Structure 1
Amino acid sequence: MRNILVIEDSPLVLKILEHLFRQEPTLQPVFCASLAEAEVMLETSAGLFFAAIVDLHLPDAPNGESVDLVMRYRLPCIVLSGSYNEQRRDELLMKGVVDYVLKESQHSYEYAFRLLHRLEHNAKIKILIAEDSEATRHYIRHVLTPHRYQILEARDGEETLRLLAEQPDIDLLVLDHAMPGISGFELVKLLRQKMKRHELIIIGLSADAKGSLSALFIKHGADDFLRKPFCPEELNCRVMSTLERRDLLRALKQAAQFDALTGLNNRRAFYEQGLQLLQQARRDGHELSVAMLDLDHFKQINDGFGHASGDSALVVFARALAGAFPNALLGRLGGEEFALVSAQQADDLAQALDRLRRQCAGLHYAAGAPPLSFSAGLYRGEPDDLESLLHEADMRLYRAKQQGRARTVLAL
């Protein structure tokens, strides 16, 4: 739970904010209607707050004194204002507020909440500023710091490459076009040979007036481009927008690859990775072990205890399966059916499945439900065709069910 200080006196704005906060269970608002109330609250409890949403003009703080108050306590500050003043906006952004949001529409307030959520995520985001001008590096750092990013700096291409090699978890690179040594263009081309867009975001910078420069940067592999000089708001919007696009792509990839309920590979991803394992085993001259697994009497769990209990059984089993076989390829192929591909010898794998079965018998997944149990068919052979290997394992799974379930069958 994150406590958010809200300093606002407008009944209409408060009504909108209260409605939005009710939809955010992880954010807990504390409302103050005046500067005086906020002073008391911060003096006694400043350490409890994660961030603040602050009205720029209050009856007892008509000139932004409420913003100055929050900034003194080093709280990330999102400013709300009923009127737009570009000079005032720039002053506030350079002072270190997170953003300056106009009270225009529902979208404006939703944008403020987007900023709150980004502040939560941004603490894990690393940004590298590659720029030979110390003044420009300082300016960019000053603009980005209120958003809680981790900021690194490089003065040339060689230092940029060194930092990226030392810290492969860097998320975003702000890269100047004209640096000593390796140019920005060359660096983008070099980096894109090694790192895909979802691995590193690149935003190009240049003071060059040529209109084609932005297109050249993007064609070489940059995600976005800014022409210097740029205002703080533009930089913040470009950085936030590219990070959100990256997060969306990752979420789409996650949805395409993993089963939404259990977190294991879905059928498509399992087959794709299984084919890769087969090709590698074929090159190395190794056999592979393949297992098909089925939860026993799963329909009875759904019918007798409800589908929520069935889902819980699947989740608990998938977690136990992943813990028992950390080095194997695992997948949920559909319903209560799971599959496994491993380089482990078949006898050793069968023993491991028996240990997992004993473990599952003691796992709780729903009140009053029967012990969790599964049947398995196991086959080891030449890695010629994944479908054939799975078919052989499936035949043995069928035999395990014929023999009374709760067992692993290795030989027909």
Structure 2
Amino acid sequence: MQRKVLIVEDSKSSMNLMRKLISKAKLRPICTTSLVEAKHVFSSSAPEDYLCAVVDFDLPDAPNGEAIDFAIESFLPTIVVTGSLDESTRTTILNKNVVDYIPKENAQVYEYLTRLLNRLAKNKKIAVLVVDGSRISRHSMTALLRRHNFITFEATDAAQGMEILRSNSNIKLAIIDDNISGIEMISELRKLYSKEDLGIIGVSSDTTSGLSARFIKSGATDYLHTPFCHEEFFCRIMQNVERLENIATIRRVANLDYLTGLPNRRHFFDRVAANQKTTPHDQSLAIIDIDHFKAVNDTFGHDCGDYTLKELAKLVAEFFADFTAARFGGEEFCVFFSNVAPEKVIDIMENFRDAIENKVLTFEKQTLSCTVSIGVTHKSKGGINTMLRIADKHLYCAKTEGRNRVISD
């Protein structure tokens, strides 16, 4: 379901710009021009349908931020837009439980709104751990995090924090105060979690020179000195979470085949190497090759060839979801099995071959079908490279014996 964003704005130009940005973020803008209209529209729909509200600070029927109070009291994460840049207005806004505020300086500033909207949607699946011996400080930080839709966990000391981390894999960021021997905890965490898997922000009110450097050298990815302003806190949180997401994207791009979305050859070798160490028995490897694939490209064109590869890759992903499968290059796919009896592997591969043979593909109103030849080995002695050589020999036999068949040891 497309989530809604409530807009309360009396300026036509600002409204049009926000409507475009919100639609661009694949959200549904609900446009109102006054507090009275916003109350009427909001009351006629389910609150859970809304992701957040974007509210103008100064409206004709709400000149002092009353519309902001309404959105917050309606349990809507609230982003404020304002044409006033004076310190008094800024302080008034930040004293409310808002997500953030956006000054109406120029059109470029509104791009920040798109970033905020994307974050509010993503943050619903991201957890943050706050480790602080002070109950007031913990609650203050978790309250700020919840404004941005984060899942939050609290711990009073390092031992409790470590236990919470072990039990919750969705924690991507830890905020650790120095009062609970935070630097020591960070050092221990880095033995278990890399900087690519867990962001850590050190927090301290101590003014000791070099403390921030000690946090960073111990493994923290960032540092905050208390007391901090809400804006800096949000910016640091967003920066650290987005850093982790960017690393995850780079990993995904490095490990996946661009055309089919399957794991690539490099990722296949990494997965198999790890698997062979933990499950040394009942290992099998299959190489799958599309028969007469050159004829598909020559007859229907390379676009059709790409389409065929993608459709077959979907079946590979479906059939071998519980195993290690990859596009190995060209029209070849590879599957590694562990803890599966050899006869079961052959049954799976025969079922896959049969599914491909009976699948009808439609490309630009043209229908076509294809078959695959498969070579399988259960001889794991010598490692993955030896298995690949043996399976490739069986694949060659399958080709020379008429294709569309499975040949194994």
Q: TM-score w.r.t. structure 2 length?
A: 0.90
Corresponding residue for residue 223 of structure 1 = 221
Q: Distance in 2 between matches of 1:145 and 1:169?
A: 15
How far apart are residue 230 of structure 1 and its match?
0.4
Post-superposition Cα deviations, 1:5-30, rounded to whole Å, max 9, x if no partner, equal 11122232223223324433x21112
Runs of 4+ in 1 over 6 A off after TM superposition: none
1:123 partnered with 2:124? yes
How far apart are residue 151 of structure 1 and its match?
1.4
1:133 partnered with 2:134? yes
Post-superposition Cα deviations, 1:346-365, rounded to whole Å, max 9, x if no partner, equal 44422220012223344465
Q: Distance in 1 between matches of 2:380 and 2:153?
A: 50
How far apart are residue 276 of structure 1 and its match?
4.3
1:325 partnered with 2:323? no
Post-superposition Cα deviations, 1:23-55, rounded to whole Å, max 9, x if no partner, equal 33x211121122232122122225232211111
Corresponding residue for residue 33 of structure 1 = 33
Q: Distance in 2 between matches of 1:302 and 1:241?
A: 46
- Contact 1:203–1:222 at 8 Å: present in 2 too? yes
Corresponding residue for residue 383 of structure 1 = 381
- Contact 1:309–1:365 at 8 Å: present in 2 too? no
Identity %: 36
- Amino acid of the residue matched to residue 196 of structure 1? S
How far apart are residue 317 of structure 1 and its match?
2.9
Q: Distance in 1 between matches of 2:395 and 2:322?
A: 22
Corresponding residue for residue 314 of structure 1 = 309
- 3-state SS of 2:403 partner: coil
- Contact 1:202–1:223 at 8 Å: present in 2 too? yes
Using the TM superposition, name which of 261-270 and 187-196 deviates more: 261-270
Using the TM superposition, name which of 211-220 and 377-386 deviates more: 377-386
- 3-state SS of 1:108 partner: helix
Corresponding residue for residue 408 of structure 1 = 406
Post-superposition Cα deviations, 1:215-259, rounded to whole Å, max 9, x if no partner, equal 110110011100010011111111111000000000100111122
Q: Give the one of 199, 207, 211 matched to 1:213.
A: 211
Residue 56 to residue 306, structure 1, CA distance change in 2 (3 Å)? farther
- 3-state SS of 2:76 partner: coil
- Contact 1:292–1:378 at 8 Å: present in 2 too? yes
1:352 partnered with 2:353? no
Q: Distance in 2 between matches of 1:164 and 1:243?
A: 16
- Contact 1:278–1:384 at 8 Å: present in 2 too? no
Post-superposition Cα deviations, 1:52-108, rounded to whole Å, max 9, x if no partner, equal 111111223221122122122111111011122344334433421110111223332
1:59 partnered with 2:60? yes
1:50 partnered with 2:51? yes
Q: Distance in 2 between matches of 1:259 and 1:14?
A: 42
- 3-state SS of 1:123 partner: helix
- Contact 2:380–2:386 at 8 Å: present in 1 too? no
- 3-state SS of 1:160 partner: helix
1:204 partnered with 2:205? no
- Amino acid of the residue matched to residue 335 of structure 2? L
Q: Distance in 2 between matches of 1:365 and 1:208?
A: 67
How far apart are residue 272 of structure 1 and its match?
3.0
- 3-state SS of 2:224 partner: strand
Using the TM superposition, name which of 122-131 and 389-398 deviates more: 389-398
Q: Give the one of 176, 181, 187 matched to 2:185.
A: 187
- Contact 2:5–2:22 at 8 Å: present in 1 too? no
Corresponding residue for residue 273 of structure 1 = 271
- 3-state SS of 1:375 partner: strand
How far apart are residue 338 of structure 1 and its match?
0.5
1:292 partnered with 2:287? yes
- Amino acid of the residue matched to residue 40 of structure 1? H
Q: Distance in 2 between matches of 1:245 and 1:127?
A: 15
Q: Distance in 1 between matches of 2:390 and 2:20?
A: 57
Q: Distance in 1 between matches of 2:299 and 2:38?
A: 55
The equivalences for 1:146-161 within 5 A come to 146-161=147-162
How far apart are residue 381 of structure 1 and its match?
2.6
Residue 385 to residue 31, structure 1, CA distance change in 2 (3 Å)? same
Residue 36 to residue 305, structure 1, CA distance change in 2 (3 Å)? farther
Corresponding residue for residue 237 of structure 2 = 239
Q: Distance in 2 between matches of 1:187 and 1:399?
A: 58
- Amino acid of the residue matched to residue 229 of structure 1? P
Q: Distance in 1 between matches of 2:55 and 2:193?
A: 40
Q: Distance in 1 between matches of 2:24 and 2:168?
A: 37
1:342 partnered with 2:337? yes
RMSD: 2.5
The equivalences for 1:1-20 within 5 A come to 1-20=2-21
Aligned residues: 404
How far apart are residue 340 of structure 1 and its match?
1.9
Using the TM superposition, name which of 112-121 and 356-365 deviates more: 356-365
Q: Which runs of 5+ in 2 are unaligned?
A: none
1:103 partnered with 2:104? yes
How far apart are residue 211 of structure 1 and its match?
3.2
- 3-state SS of 2:362 partner: coil
Post-superposition Cα deviations, 1:351-398, rounded to whole Å, max 9, x if no partner, equal 220012223344465365334532111233343253343233223222
Residue 107 to residue 275, structure 1, CA distance change in 2 (3 Å)? same
Q: TM-score w.r.t. structure 1 length?
A: 0.89
Q: Distance in 2 between matches of 1:45 and 1:287?
A: 57
Corresponding residue for residue 74 of structure 1 = 75
- 3-state SS of 1:171 partner: strand
- Contact 2:198–2:244 at 8 Å: present in 1 too? no
Q: Distance in 2 between matches of 1:64 and 1:292?
A: 66
